[in-house]
Amino acid sequence: RTTTTGVIDVSGTERTAGLVPFTECDDLLRHLQAEAVDRVGPYGLGGDWYGGPVMLETTAIAEDSSMESGAMARGSDQTLVEGIDYSGTNVQEAGIDEPDLIKTDGRRILIVEDNRIHHISLSGETPSGGTATLTDTLPIEGHWSRQMLLADDRALIIADTYVDGDSKLRPAFSSLVPNGGWRPLTSLIEVDLSDPTDLKITNVLTVEGHHVSTRVVGGSARVVVSTPPDELP
Q: Tell me: the pLDDT tens digits for 84-129?
A: 545 666 667 777 888 999 998 888 999 998 789 999 998 765 455 6
Burial class (CB in 10 A: 0-12, 13-18, 19+), 113: middle
Q: Please report the beta strands in 140-199, taking only residues with DSSP state E, as ranges in sequence order.
A: 143-151, 154-161, 185-192
At residue 119, the pLDDT reads 95
What angle is formed at CA 76 by the lines to CA 74 and CA 79, rounded to 5 degrees?
70
Q: Against a cut of 0.85, is the pTM above it? A: no
Residue 74 pLDDT class (50, 70, 90 cuts) = very low
